[in-house]
Chain A
Amino acid sequence: GAVVSQHPSRVICKSGTSVKIECRSLDFQATTMFWYRQFPKQSLMLMATSNEGSKATYEQGVEKDKFLINHASLTLSTLTVTSAHPEDSSFYICSARSLASSYNEQFFGPGTRLTVL
């Protein structure tokens, strides 16, 4: 149980295009999903907290107009990188917090490798 998927696992795009990454909780409902970014050899940095049916909360320094987050249902959140540039190339990881967990445990997706040419 508690499986989180991400799609796609890898994406290569041209500079200036937009890319959408999906995060799904497969066997549980998640009111809250988190989006992280990880540069090579570095730790995970939280980008935003996504709550179902409401606007995402972005961390300081994260451009909300560039990283659009939509949490349309209790099992799906999407991250859209708009007008992507090479500096947006990174590993993006989502996590989902289970409604059933009394300790707010997060379950992580396998990540999406974005490369912007």
Chain B
Amino acid sequence: AQSVTQPDIHITVSEGASLELRCNYSYGATPYLFWYVQSPGQGLQLLLKYFSGDTLVQGIKGFEAEFKRSQSSFNLRKPSVHWSDAAEYFCAVDFYNQGGKLIFGQGTELSVKP
């Protein structure tokens, strides 16, 4: 079955430190890949997306993600975390043989230490 895995349920980093959130998916072909951020009680905000082309994609708020086909991964990175980045982060995959449905990872909760 197609699945999306975010291995880290909770990550804590110090403000100013770098960040990497992991995302792996199961499938043979290259799907469409997304990262969303959700603040408590709020909807989802799209950080970035990958459809094709350059495997390093830039998003909003200083985030970037790299698609690695050989590892079926799409990890999210930020070189310097701000306190306002504390939130829940979701990786989502459109396997595009599923009628446009998104499959979400379990989410990673990010805490930022001052």
* Residues in A lying within 8 Å of B, measured CB to CB: 6, 32, 34, 41-46, 49, 57, 91, 93, 95, 97, 103-111, 113
Within 8 Å by CB of A43, from B32, B90, B96, lies B90
**B42 on the interface (CB 8 Å rule)?**
yes
Interchain CB contact under 8 A, B43 and A108: yes
Interface residues of chain A: helix, strand, loop or mixed (majority) = strand
**Chain B residues numbered 81-106 whose CB sits less than 8 Å from any CB in chain A:** 90, 94, 96, 99-106
Interchain CB contact under 8 A, B90 and A44: yes
- CB-defined contacts of B42 to chain A, threshold 8 Å: 110-111
CB nearest to B41 among chain A residues: A113
Interchain CB contact under 8 A, A46 and B101: yes
Given A42-B107, A103-B32, A105-B49: A34 touches B102 (CB 8 Å cut-off) = yes
Given contacts A43-B104, A106-B100, 9 further A-B contacts (CB under 8 A): A42-B106, A43-B105, A45-B104, A46-B102, A93-B43, A104-B94, A104-B96, A108-B46, A110-B42
- CB-defined contacts of B32 to chain A, threshold 8 Å: 103-104
**B51 on the interface (CB 8 Å rule)?**
yes
CB nearest to B101 among chain A residues: A46
